[in-house]
A and B are shown apart, each in its own frame.
Chain A
Amino acid sequence: MPALNAFQVYKLLPQTNCGKCGEPNCMAFAVALLGGKKKVEDCPPLIEEAKYADKLKELQKIFAVSDEVESTGLVYHEEKCTGCGNCVMVCPEDVAASPLIAGGKGDVCDNVVFRVENGKAKIVNLEKCRRSGKEKTCRICEMFCGTGAIEIRMVGG
């Protein structure tokens, strides 16, 4: 359940259906953008025309993800996080790393995906995440994140 839908992205696009990006219309581009097939910079009018500067900024903020994150599709919005620790206690990798975490307590270990620091969850080792390996279907952290701070985007379908 991504927090962002194609229509919300569409609203931030030029909505001229010029076709310069290679997609038939802006809605298709929005879908492609969400699916990770296109990048914000692939829309020429958005970059070239000054009147879209605000929209471009907003879009770049939404889609600002590092290459590392893209491999798992895991996007973390820190400003929404309340530090409840649900992600730490549900993540199968975190639970396997420490019996304390499995029992609901905080623990300091290095081989975990999430850790709560300073009242916010923090992604410590993204490479430990199951989604970066074979198990692409795991999205338990997103399911248990009540605030919508963790979002999993389906990259590449």
Chain B
Amino acid sequence: MSDGFVQVVCPGCGLLCDDIEVKVENGKIVSTLHTCARGEWILLNANSEFRLTSPLVKKNGQHVKVSFDEALDHAAEILSSAERPLLWGWSSTSVEAQRVGIRLAQLLGGVIDSTSSICHGSSILAGREAGFRTATLGEIKNRADLIIYWGSDPSHSHPRHLSRYTTIPRGIYTQMGYEQKQLVVIDVRKTRTGKVANQVLEIEPNKDYELISAMRMILKGENVKEKEVAGIPVKTLNQLIQTWKTQQFGVIFVGLGLSMSRGKYRNIEALYKLVQELNEYTRFVAIPMAGHFNMVGFNQVATWLAGQPFGLDLSKGSIYSNPGETTGAEIIMRDEFDAMLVVASDPISTMPLPIARKIAKKPLVVIDCLENPTVKNADVVFPAAITGVEAEGTAYRLDSVPIRLKKFLEPCNDCKPDDEILSLLLERIEKTS
């Protein structure tokens, strides 16, 4: 790879910013332009001192450096001898790797689930019940004049959300930029995004469903008997709905505050219905704020290959999916797995302690680029090239637009792209079984 400035797509979060410039010297990233702190951190992982450089196998409780071949043998043995392996992670890798992952799950007769089951999976379930009203971020930039963040704080999760796509940029029909746009933040606490918003509604925790229901009632012209709903005066709600109705194009960005608080997918189902009803007056859409850069990608791949967005149980020879039964966290909690393959995820540090303990007790194969608690507990570790830096691949932006990630550095030492490692593993398992 040549030195100098390269135009890249940032694999930092679901926004996949495509205007990033990176300066490369001697095969290392020297500086980056236009990245947020989050993207910068992900890109600079390539230079990290915690990079995994060669395959590791645990022998007598110690990690020993081995050849790729030997590691593949060990991993194939662990996975093929398991009765119901769990294949977990997948949100921070390319669509190509996810495809191979589903084939691997089919071959092994295991369960494959992505982190979306503990993230925005509930938004997909809600979409199935109520229907999606969606738009691309480009359309939102050019047309939307009412931006609502509900239970999400992009200044933490997607730092460039406001400046690239929603409130600030000037679009074709929003030439005045922020002066023409309304920013409303609905959250249980004061957020950084709230600091720059035109209106902030601080609601009581776990009362989202009541609030949405009250809004739907007001929209239908019914009388809300209470004076306050979720800590918001009904008068304010009346005014709010009246202004929302008169806007040109409204968009609600749904965060984890809604999808993972009490009510879970019912909250979002109600919200989607509200959005649907608002469409009688004006154009309104709702978009879940996917955090990992390719979380939406796994849902897409799983849906086109298996018809279900996540939590695929392939152990019975047919496709079965029942969120709550075949999703990762629940399977681990009930001890219904006997080996685990983790790809581009760190469940031991992100999951609650009881789940993390159960993962650590089972045979564990990990494909990751950095050292982390899951890697420390793994029996076999494969060093992966960072997708979007040392490996190319396709990823889906949070509005389900596929974007091609570029490769601009050579992977260090023994690192290989995720899809290549998984294909090799698949071949090895096919050979041995």
Show the binding face of A for B, using Cβ within 8 Å: 81-86, 88-90, 95, 100, 102-108, 115-120, 143-148
Contacts and interface: CB of A to CB of B under 8 A. Distances in A.
A106 B168 contact: no
A104 B35 contact: no
Contacts of B156: 82
A85 B34 contact: yes
B34 A106 contact: yes
A66 B170 CA distance: 34
B39 interface: yes
B192 A146 contact: yes
Given A84-B159, A85-B159, 11 more contacts: A83-B39, A83-B159, A84-B162, A104-B164, A106-B19, A108-B33, A118-B31, A119-B37, A119-B41, A144-B178, A147-B192
B32 A85 contact: no
Contacts of A102: 169-170, 177
Given A104-B141, A108-B33, A118-B31, A146 B163 contact: no
Contacts of B195: 146, 148
Contacts of B159: 82-85
B32 A84 contact: no
B273 interface: no
A144 B193 CA distance: 9
A89 B163 contact: yes
Interface in B249-289: none
Given A108-B33, A116-B35, A144-B178, A85 B164 contact: yes
18 contacts: A81-B37, A82-B37, A84-B160, A85-B34, A85-B160, A90-B163, A100-B19, A102-B170, A106-B19, A108-B33, A118-B31, A118-B32, A118-B40, A119-B38, A144-B196, A146-B155, A146-B195, A146-B196
A98 to B, nearest CB: 12
Interface in B179-201: 192-193, 195-196
Nearest to A88: B163
Q: Which 7 A-B pairs have the closest CB atoms?
A: A106-B34, A104-B169, A119-B40, A146-B192, A84-B159, A83-B36, A85-B163
A116 B196 contact: no
B21 interface: yes
A8 to B, nearest CB: 19
Contact of B37 (A83, A95, A106): A83
